[in-house]
Structure 1
């Protein structure tokens, strides 16, 4: 549990008081989280949604960093032309006459 993760979350939301409002707890609770680096499990997903600080940074014991998916590892293939025009020129599909 990184001490700076909770502080970063509070800063991203605006302040510790703003984060407390998002979480529905007291500013003293948020101050304690910032001082100790311990985030209760019930607050992790709310903090992530409000601040953008990842759940892994907030509680790596509960949310280990996921390995990349196959889609993330594969190069992206450009999307086909959606204009309705054929992507192959008609002359290349014409059969040669005997």
Structure 2
């Protein structure tokens, strides 16, 4: 399988984050325990309307789930330079 075939789309990365957190409500609670600014409905909208994580919440979602910012929003967060898959063979 080629490396490019293994990349997740932003939606798939968000789905992975939701699954890792234990569901939409749990993800929202892990980021905003009192659910004053982030609610389950926001997560649902990202999944079903936007098809990606809100730029405002990417870092918090990443911290809560371990899904990288680059996976969640590659349009905002470039691939890390120290990623081994990004290294060129200089030999």
Gaps of 5+ in 1: 74-98
Which of 34, 42, 61 is residue 29 of structure 1 equivalent to? 42
The RMSD of aligned alpha carbons is: 1.8
| Aligned twin of 1:4 | 12
Runs of 4+, deviation exceeding 4 Å: none
Q: What is the TM-score when the length of structure 1 is the normalising length? A: 0.63
Which structure has the larger Rg over C-alpha atoms?
Answer: 1
Q: What is the TM-score when the length of structure 2 is the normalising length? A: 0.67
For 1:38-90, what per-residue CA distance to the aligned partner results, in whole angstroms no more than 9, with x for missing partners? 22222111111111111001111110102227xxx7xxxxxxxxxxxxxxxxx
Q: Is the 8 A contact 2:31 2:64 kept in 1?
A: no
Gaps of 5+ in 2: 1-8, 33-37
Structure with greater helix share of residues: 2
Query: How many residues end up aligned between the 2 structures?
Result: 70
